Chain A
């Protein structure tokens, strides 16, 4: 489903190279975990997948469902089924969360040639999805992410993911800032979306999240490249021994 080939990318503004020859393949149905120390390029990778303009791909390609996404803008990628759950979801004053959800769902449907949702259908879908994430309708009346706690923001990201039903989910440090209860709620939300035709990339610092979202593959990112891949045992090894050994082995 996702194939990243020899990807090189830099910060558009100052030319700093962050991703330096990254290869990664994630199949439909697979949950791939990407782990790595601070500054290894994890968040950059997630932004590049989503199409953020601040980064420039200088070499290589990102193939999603057989097609390169490099020429697609973030909205086109989202409509094609790529979803990024942000590490730091933006607070957007003045845009009501419900209005945002409705516009996003309908824009994606429009882009795919599907009819727009009626208001009752929309509200029913939101209520269903919000309940299991312990999100109150009261919270959804507020402006998007404004005044949400860290945990509420992350749950709101997963709510969007559930409603938009993407094919490729990229979770960028979704565990950061979550207490254990919130972590379970978020993980349950992600697990509920597990399906044979959906791939998930879980980017994380710590093994803890992977106890709840059990990955099929684990990849270690260092200095912009995948330096080691394995199964979930690799995550445990990292937890026990840290990144230093593996990174120096690979170097």
Chain B
């Protein structure tokens, strides 16, 4: 690693350091957690927020992009949101604090704050190094979240929804979800709030035990002044199957990281990401996936639509360990640019140490196909509507893989709203 000259702290960095000094005494956790928080804050103040000189942040210069760190507003009034599909149990965090806990058979839930106070051995923050800005900010400031365990063999009758809501300020939440052997569950993970300035960090540790099947749908629809820093750390044991569907619909600056360790033979990861990047916003999805044992498979499909002066990023790193023979990994990133000033950076990285594997990646960046547009218009469909149909088609292909009709209808309605406002 290059040694960089130390830069003076930015206003945002100074605010983080100052707020930590003010708040740290009140943040939940035992002495061990307090030490973790201190260490995380030290890393931020010593190295600063990552700039484009840090490879993992090359396309997302967080030091420049994070202009504003508002004060926490733990008591602000938060608007509630409807669950993604009707009548499902929800677990709600408001301004980083637990506000509502449903009761679901087969699922046990405790407060992350309580666990941090008692014994953090089961929920130790992942160590991704000094440039892990998302993890470090979250570790330093996390206030609460859900520690959730799905019983072995439990087959959920309906999806479960996790919500992290706010009314500006800051929210730092952490969920740790363990899905027991052969359990089957669908979890919706929602991030939303008002249009006031907010710094939101969210870390999720999701572990699938042997044979567990999970559909995890993250819907990020923060307000127009939001900085959203998300991180999902995944572990897949033997024969576990996870579909991780991530849709970013808004937010000013968004970084969504996915770190996945496929550690069990026969495990299968399906990663789908839809990113709708509006004018003057920045959306970065960074995936780091390790196939660490033989006979595992994954597919990664990312579809992006960028408009105005929006800027999108996808970094997809797949590592195949030397022992991980017969790995099958297929990654594709397709982007539609709706304006001349929209941009997208895509960086696939394959690091393959095994010799009997199938790994592929592909990326496309295109405008709306003029032939297609002409064909639709020649049937009397106005240009705006024809463009909308083509953009929707581009994204809907991924959404429609989800199979749950209500969920598809809900996500497509969100897509149409976005198109109405942006395309």
Q: Is the CB of A73 within 8 A of B383?
A: yes
For B379, give its contact among A52, A94, A164 (CB under 8 Å): A164
How many whole Å from A173's CB to the nearest CB in chain B?
16
Which residue on chain A has the smallest CB distance to residue B374? A52
Q: Given A74-B374, A75-B377, A89-B375: A94 and B383 within 8 A (CB)?
A: no
| A108 at interface by CB-CB < 8 Å | yes
Q: Is the CB of A100 within 8 A of B380?
A: no
Q: Which residues on the A side are within 8 Å of B102 (C-beta)?
A: none
| A180 at interface by CB-CB < 8 Å | no
| B397 at interface by CB-CB < 8 Å | yes
* Interface residue SS majority, chain B: helix
For A107, give its contact among B375, B381, B396 (CB under 8 Å): B381
Q: Is the CB of B374 within 8 A of A111?
A: no
- Most chain B CB atoms below 10 A, which of A93, A94, A164: A94
How many whole Å from B399's CB to the nearest CB in chain A?
10
| A192 at interface by CB-CB < 8 Å | no
| A137 at interface by CB-CB < 8 Å | no
Q: Is the CB of A90 within 8 A of B389?
A: no
Q: Which residues on the A side are within 8 Å of B393 (C-beta)?
A: 92-95, 143
Interface string of B384-423 (1 = CB under 8 A from A): 0110011011101100000000000000000000000000
| A207 at interface by CB-CB < 8 Å | no
Q: Is the CB of B379 within 8 A of A104?
A: yes
For B386, give its contact among A75, A79, A86, A160 (CB under 8 Å): A75
How many whole Å from A31's CB to the nearest CB in chain B?
21
Q: How far is the CA of A54 from the CA of B376 in the complex (A)?
A: 15
Task: Say which size band chain A's interface belongs to.
Answer: 20 to 34
For B389, give its contact among A54, A79, A103, A160 (CB under 8 Å): A103
| B378 at interface by CB-CB < 8 Å | yes
Q: Which residues of A, 84-131, contact B by the 8 Å Cβ criterion?
A: 84, 86, 89-90, 92-95, 100, 103-104, 107-108, 111
Q: Is the CB of A74 within 8 A of B394?
A: no
Q: Which residues of A, 51-97, contact B by the 8 Å Cβ criterion?
A: 51-54, 73-75, 77-79, 83-84, 86, 89-90, 92-95
Q: Given A90-B371, A90-B372, A103-B389: A75 and B397 within 8 A (CB)?
A: no
Which residue on chain B has the smallest CB distance to residue A81? B380
- Most chain A CB atoms below 10 A, which of B382, B392, B397: B382
Which residue on chain B has the smallest CB distance to residue A49? B378
Q: Given A90-B371, A94-B396, A95-B393: A103 and B377 within 8 A (CB)?
A: no
Q: Is the CB of A92 within 8 A of B379?
A: no
| Size of the chain B interface, CB-CB below 8 angstroms | 22
Which residue on chain B has the smallest CB distance to residue A85? B378
Q: Which residues on the A side are within 8 Å of B377 (C-beta)?
A: 51, 73-75, 78
| A50 at interface by CB-CB < 8 Å | yes
Interface string of A196-225 (1 = CB under 8 A from B): 000000000000000000000000000000
Q: Is the CB of A104 within 8 A of B380?
A: yes
Which residue on chain A has the smallest CB distance to residue B393? A94
Q: Which residues on the B side are within 8 Å of A100 (C-beta)?
A: 376, 379, 389
Q: How far is the CA of A164 from the CA of B381 in the complex (A)?
A: 12
Q: Given A53-B374, A86-B375: A92 and B390 within 8 A (CB)?
A: yes
Q: Is the CB of B381 within 8 A of A94?
A: no
- Most chain B CB atoms below 10 A, which of A79, A89, A103: A103
Q: Is the CB of B378 within 8 A of A74?
A: yes
Q: How far is the CA of A86 from the CA of B396 in the complex (A)?
A: 26
Q: Which residues on the A side are within 8 Å of B378 (C-beta)?
A: 50-52, 74-75, 77-78, 83-84, 86
Q: Which residues on the A side are within 8 Å of B389 (C-beta)?
A: 95, 100, 103
Q: Which residues on the B side are within 8 Å of A164 (C-beta)?
A: 379-380
Q: Is the CB of A92 within 8 A of B375?
A: yes
Q: Which residues on the B side are within 8 Å of A75 (C-beta)?
A: 377-378, 380-383, 386
Q: Which residues on the A side are within 8 Å of B371 (C-beta)?
A: 90
Q: Given A75-B386, A94-B393, A94-B397: A104 and B381 within 8 A (CB)?
A: yes
Q: How far is the CA of A176 from the CA of B382 in the complex (A)?
A: 29
Q: How far is the CA of A75 from the CA of B374 in the complex (A)?
A: 9
Q: How far is the CA of A52 from the CA of B381 in the complex (A)?
A: 14
Q: How far is the CA of A143 from the CA of B394 in the complex (A)?
A: 12
Q: Given A95-B389, A103-B389: A79 and B380 within 8 A (CB)?
A: yes
Q: Given A95-B389, A103-B389: A90 and B375 within 8 A (CB)?
A: yes
- In addition to A84-B378, A100-B389, A107-B379, 17 A-B residue pairs with Cβ atoms within 8 Å of each other are A51-B377, A52-B378, A75-B377, A75-B381, A77-B378, A86-B375, A92-B372, A92-B393, A94-B397, A95-B389, A100-B376, A100-B379, A104-B380, A104-B381, A107-B382, A143-B393, A164-B380
The 7 closest A-B pairs by CB, nearest first: A94-B393, A78-B380, A74-B377, A108-B380, A104-B379, A90-B375, A75-B377
5 contacts between A and B (CB under 8 A): A52-B374, A75-B380, A92-B376, A93-B397, A94-B390
